[in-house]
Chain A
Amino acid sequence: MRRFVRENGLALGFGFIFLAALVGQAIVGHAAFNDDAIAHHGGTMSLWRYVTSSSFGSDVMENWQSEYLQFTLFILGTIWLLQRGSPESKELDKAGQESDEEQKVGPHADSRSPRWARVGGLRTRLYQHSLLLVMGAIWLGTWVAQTVTGHVAYDADQLSHRQPPVSLVGYVGTADFWNRTLQNWQSEFLAVGSMAILSVYLRARGSPESKPVGAPHEATGVEG
């Protein structure tokens, strides 16, 4: 048990703080929703109704989709885009998908390689992009969920102001939808870009996201 926890600390640690933050968001989001409803003489909700409502759903989904987009683009971008001196970048002569030999694909796979990396054909073609495919699918799924839940929440707000509801397609054309989307995207892109640059010159001793403390600034593709 202790060994399992030690070997899965990253997933368990972040899983725990994710759940704690989500519960916290539900509690304060519920309070904020009801405060706003009371101020507008509107109807309030129980905590359970709130956490199953589109208001909560859209607030959660708009953040999820931007996080998955960030990592999907980061994985995709780092195949071709380089950053001299950054541990987030590959070495400067390795841009692109690299050779089968370097990637241990098909006949170059070794005995410990995953089966789908060894077998060739469609399974290997899928497997070599599986991380991108799954992360991209989660991004698209959560963006669709943001759209559907955001539409319901938007129309509820329209009705509370006695304005006409809009269709789902109409909602995608509103400033509200793109404001919710782009305010999340810009912060994710900034975080990735600044991490790539800051990690050239700054160090986090012991973190694989950083170069070793004594590594030169120009060393690229080196992790600590």
Chain B
Amino acid sequence: MRTALVLCGLGVAAAAGGCGIADDRDQARASASQFFAALQHGDGATACDHLSPATASNLEQQEKSSCPKAILGQSLGGGSVQRVRVYQTDAVVTLSDGEQAYLDRRAGGWKVSAAGCKPQGDAPADCEVAD
């Protein structure tokens, strides 16, 4: 433990993404889980609290409706969060149904920037909701 702290203090492990990454992973997992749980419970307001500002704004413009109403009209998959991968300020979560969601770390915590995403090989994923 002391060795790990010393390494983090030196910035070595930090530079390699080793410090705080477990916290980030937990927080990204929690935010994504709360987002999808809110959708399952028909709670659009809570789901929108977990969206990034740009994604919520884009959704409102596309659907010409408020975010809480618009988000419930999207055909987003569900299921539990199976895997979380974090790289600096970006994370991707994979759900049990195979769909993915992308998150950004912001001042207010991890926010969903895209959801209902289907991987397209090396090309950008095709997402139902995105910024």
Contact = CB atoms under 8 A, between A and B. Distances in A.
A118 B121 CA distance: 62
B31 interface: no
Interface string B85-101: 10111111000000000
B60 interface: no
A145 B15 contact: yes
A73 interface: no
Size class of the contact patch on chain B: 35 or more
B91 A159 contact: yes
Contacts of B130: 162
Contact of B52 (A41, A61, A148): A41
B71 interface: no
A165 B85 contact: yes
Contacts of A41: 52, 54-55, 104, 113, 131
A162 B124 contact: yes
Interface in A160-200: 160-165
A163 B15 contact: no
A42 B124 contact: no
B14 interface: yes
- A45, A145, A162 interface centre (most CB from chain B within 10 Å): A162
Contacts of A45: 88-89
A51 interface: yes
A55 interface: yes
Interface residues of A, number: 29
B87 A42 contact: no
B1 interface: no
A155 B122 CA distance: 12
A43 to B, nearest CB: 4
A149 B123 contact: no
- A54, A57, A159, A161 interface centre (most CB from chain B within 10 Å): A159
Contacts, number: 92
Given A41-B54, A42-B104, A54-B17, A162 B114 contact: yes
Nearest to A34: B89
Nearest to A42: B104
Contacts of B55: 41
Given A37-B89, A43-B105, A156-B87, A162 B14 contact: no
Contacts of B88: 45, 53-55, 152-153, 156
A52 B117 contact: no
A56 interface: yes
Interface string A24-63: 0000000000000100011111000001111111000100
Contacts of B45: none
B87 A148 contact: no
Given A162-B124, A163-B125, A43 B104 contact: yes
Contact of B102 (A44, A52, A53, A159): A159
Interface of A: 37, 41-45, 51-57, 61, 145, 148-149, 152-153, 155-156, 158-165
Interface of B: 8, 11-12, 14-17, 19, 52, 54-55, 85, 87-92, 102, 104-107, 111, 113-114, 117, 119, 121-125, 127, 130-131
14 contacts: A41-B113, A42-B104, A43-B89, A52-B11, A53-B15, A54-B16, A56-B15, A57-B15, A145-B15, A152-B88, A155-B85, A156-B89, A162-B125, A163-B123
